[in-house]
Amino acid sequence: MQNAVNLPSLSHEEYVKLAPFIDLAGRLGAFLAQAGKGGIESIHLVYGGALAESKTELIRNAAIAGLLQGSENVNRINAATIAQERGIRIHEEKEESHRGGSATVLTVVLHTAQGESRASATVIHGEQPRLLAFDGIDVEAPLEGALVVCRNLDVPGVIGRIGTILGQQGVNIANFALGRERLSPQLVPQHTDKVVKALAVVQVDEPVSESVLEALKVIEALLEARLVKLPQ
């Protein structure tokens, strides 16, 4: 819409350029709503690279709408207003520097009653949304479809057991992305003395049942397993 009173005007060219990142923001917000910590107190959005030079209101609203998914009448137009009405503080930051080799990165940080949750994502090939990091662990995973998000201790055998249990439960794996905490150089010699956490984001063909998640939780080193459902 041109000349809207509650959003800045975007030309057709601007909207076409931003549309993949508006979609990405909604997916990233929905991912954090399902995989992160609950009880949102404030939201911090960081626009990196080319996004820092763009009109980001629709991106912001899409992220908030994703975070507040399931709330009645929340959409990309009114999301920021509804968040503020609920006492959720919103902070935005634009930075020219970007993470790794991705020129354009969106980061969403949630401050909650249970702690902080943080996720970063980008769009590759102009249309494919990709998760780049979650809660301090680098991992590249598709932000679409059904995802089983597992947090675990970085010990041998966990990856194999996740795959085996999913197979036994009749779950087909489409993508298996892994990451683990980075160790600071001074901690590397003491690696064996430090408990390192890892992350697996497993894309499956269909959403899994609660019984499948419970089956995964028998893995001793597994700290958490959650199902995240995103649009295809």
Q: Which of 208, 135, 217, 122 is nearest to 167 (CA)?
A: 208
229 and 170 in one domain? yes
pLDDT at residue 45 in the model: 97
218 and 157 in one domain? yes
pLDDT at residue 73 in the model: 87
48 and 93 in one domain? yes
CATH number assigned to the domain comprising residue 161? 3.30.70.260
162 and 123 in one domain? no
The parts of the chain modelled with pLDDT lower than 70 are 1-8, 97-102, 183-194
93 and 165 in one domain? no
Specify the number of domains making up the chain. 2
126 and 72 in one domain? yes
pLDDT at residue 127 in the model: 87
CATH number assigned to the domain comprising residue 31? 3.30.1330.90
120 and 13 in one domain? yes
Q: What whole-number distance in Å separates Cα of residue 81 and Cα of residue 61?
A: 9
231 and 180 in one domain? yes
158 and 126 in one domain? no
Beta bridge partner(s), residue 4 = none
219 and 107 in one domain? no
195 and 122 in one domain? no
pLDDT at residue 62 in the model: 95
Q: What are 82-122's pLDDT values in tens digits?
A: 999 999 999 999 987 545 555 799 999 999 988 999 999 99
86 and 8 in one domain? yes
Q: Which residues constitute the domain of residue 57? A: 1-135
**75, 109, 135 — which closes off a domain?**
135
List Cβ neighbours of 61 (8 Å cut-off, separation of 6 or more). 7, 76, 77, 78, 79, 80
pLDDT at residue 188 in the model: 47
Predicted model pTM: 0.89
**82, 104, 135 — which closes off a domain?**
135
Q: What whole-number distance in Å separates Cα of residue 99 and Cα of residue 111?
A: 21
**84, 104, 135 — which closes off a domain?**
135
Percentage of the residues of the chain whose pLDDT score is greater than 90: 72
